[in-house]
Amino acid sequence: MNSSPAKPLMLFDGVCNLCNNSVQFIIERDPQAHLQFASLQSNTGQALLKKFQLPTDDFDTFVLIENDRAFTRSSGALKAVRHLKGLWPLLYGFIIIPKPIRDFFYNLVARNRYRWFGKQEHCMLPTPDLKQRFLD
């Protein structure tokens, strides 16, 4: 993959129930389809992780690729909410909290997400009407 996608792209852990539910949550609040999606485990996800020199075997981070930059953890999540309808973009205001503090809480959830929310055997398969929003 030589370039980043034109639309912001969210890379997520495809077997994590919390991550899959987060994708569904975003899709419902992004009717203009500003965001695209790919699992971290997919060919696209792996190629983009390599491009941005991120670990290709550690799936405990959320990655948002926008304007040829990769944003991870809380920064990626906060940048993603800016694209949602309703009051959700107001959450972006939390970006003023220093990243180490934001990421402390992000990492706490990430470390426990399988225990708290469960895990699937396989990556989520999008429905036919949502397929165009998913790469790979």
Please state the domain extents for the chain: 9-124
Angle, alpha carbons 29-103-88 (nearest 5°): 20
| Residue 84 or 136, more confident | 84
- Give pTM, 2 decimals: 0.83
93-123: pLDDT as tens digits: 999 999 999 999 988 988 888 788 777 765 5
Q: How far apart are CA 44 and CA 41, in angstroms?
A: 8
What confidence category does residue 3 fall into, taking pLDDT thresholds of 50, 70 and 90?
A: low
72-83: pLDDT as tens digits: 999 999 999 999
